[in-house]
Amino acid sequence: MSESILSDLFLGELRSDLALPYPVLDGDQQELLGMLRDSLKRYGADHIDSEAIDRAHAIPEEVLRNLGELGLFSQIVPEEHGGIGLNNTQYVKVCETLTAIDGAVAILSGGHSTLGIKALLLEGTDAQKQRYLPRLATGEMIAAFALSEAGAGSDAQALTTTARRTESGDYRLDGNKLWITNGGVADLFTVFARTPDHPRADGRTSISCFMVEKSAGIQIGPEEDKLGIRGSSTVPLVFDGVPVPADNLVGEPGMGFKLALRILNGGRTGLAAGCLGAARLLLAEAARYTSEREQFGQPIARFELIQQKLARMAHDIHALDCMVYLTTGAVDAGRDVALEAAACKVFGTETLWAVVNDAVQCAGGNGFTTDYPFERMLRDARVNMIFEGTNEILRLMIARTGLAEPGRRMAAGVPSQEHYGRRISGAEAPDPLTVPDGLQADALALSLATAELARASAKALQDHGESLPGRQLVLGALADQSIAAYGQAAVLSRATAVVERLGEEGAAAELQLAKGACRRLARWGRESAASLRDNDDEVLLATAAAVTAAGGMPG
């Protein structure tokens, strides 16, 4: 057994001990979080003009200073280094708040805390932490994360920037980085580079992590002219013999790639929460607009096709909310939730894209103008499905990782009816989660979906064998099944906790949202499962090959 709900779903196991009870912050944690969020909201309402930031392609320096004073840059810095020391749930809830204030400010914060300083927190020495964290906490220094290159986007192993040892034992950094968030305003960069002087056991060049100050000689390229989040800084970097002291190597030499993955895996809940905050704001704007806008003598909110949009927005937002904070609670409990974080990122970014599309449609022609926030938020939302791991890459990661243990057991000849779980064949469904009476049918649906995922996983392993890692359409469908099931588990978990606290009458709104969210997720999971049995994969791939060969429409 693992400590991952999602990983065990591939085995047909539904771990009630991991799904229940739904995690909550204690009173002191809630109080600290509330004060920080309230101060950020007040400042944002009075001083942050998202339209002006979008037009100027920059956040004003005064705003950066004031946000630093409010604690924006100190959120996850430990108290002993001058920070607030938020746990993961608290920090992610601030991410949710920030995106509702302004998308560019949220990206600035995430680039600093989620990515830029995380290597220091995970693997930094005491001396490194003492040198940098106090200044990073106040905003005297802003941090950035430099991994991506022209030939190394999703394939980070392909990076070519190098850090070579000098006679003094220090390093000299040469190469180029692209799409570096915060790059134009940062003072400290977490840089990943190949280290030929630290070869891997197989003889290949390893990757190491370094803290590099801008003042060391980093050349900052021009700001990218982006579709959205225009106020966030995104630049290329050039390293031309930049000196880096040996003391600025973070972690063990040659372990940089694993460290980069740990940072990215851990940061995806913050991005998902940012999508949650933006989606909440969009739903509120759409609800207001449709209540005020009249056609045919009545508000358009009374029309069923508009109501359909508002309801599905609410159901998906609710599911995302439950998924994000079930996951952050597991992080705070010390569990490895790389798969769950990836699931939150995939579901969250695609939920926001669907929500903003529906919100624009609800606003009609006004949604296509700059008089309303919808078009700007649409532009801001699009990048989320690309960065911190494209959704395509994350689907492959979820499926390949989830299939690893069923594959190992199948290769070892472990019979599917052994006690290791509820059968990789999916022959038996696991016991449903214990939920309120009104959600028992949804709990049963989740149990059956778990068995179906195990059955589909076993069949994929049997049918495709060693070629399965390259069968991306199959892996994508399995990943979607698992994400849908995890979402159902999260929704049922929170609904159970709310009913226990408020009673079924007091939790009526929660139960209504839970039922709608579970049914949408269950339908998505069933459709994904059905696509493995009835699909047009062969004709699709043949057509794609013809398009590639023709350089466009074939024929």
Alpha-carbon distance of 363 to 358, in angstroms, equals 9
What pairs with residue 172 in β-bridges? 164, 243
Of the residues 149, 285, 340, 388, only one is catalytic, namely 388
> What is the spatial distance between Cα 135 and Cα 286, in angstroms, rounded to a whole number?
41
Token representation of residue 423? 């059968």
Question: Are 209 and 259 spatial neighbours (Cβ–Cβ below 8 Å)?
Answer: yes
Q: How many CB atoms are closer than 10 A to CB 459?
A: 15
Cα dihedral 451, 461, 474, 394 sign: positive
What is the full DSSP assignment across 449-501?
HHHHHHHHHHHHHHHHGGGGGG-HHHHHHHHHHHHHHHHHHHHHHHHHHHHHH
Strand intervals (E) in 214-341: 219-220, 234-244, 249-250, 294-295, 298-299
**Whether 388 is catalytic:** yes
Backbone angles phi, psi at 187, to 5 degrees: -110, -20
DSSP bridge pairs for 235 = 180
Question: How many Å from the N-terminal Cα to the C-terminal Cα in the chain?
Answer: 53
The encoded tokens of residue 101 equal 């204030």
Are residues 160 and 194 in contact, defined by beta-carbon separation less than 8 angstroms? yes
Catalytic residues: 388
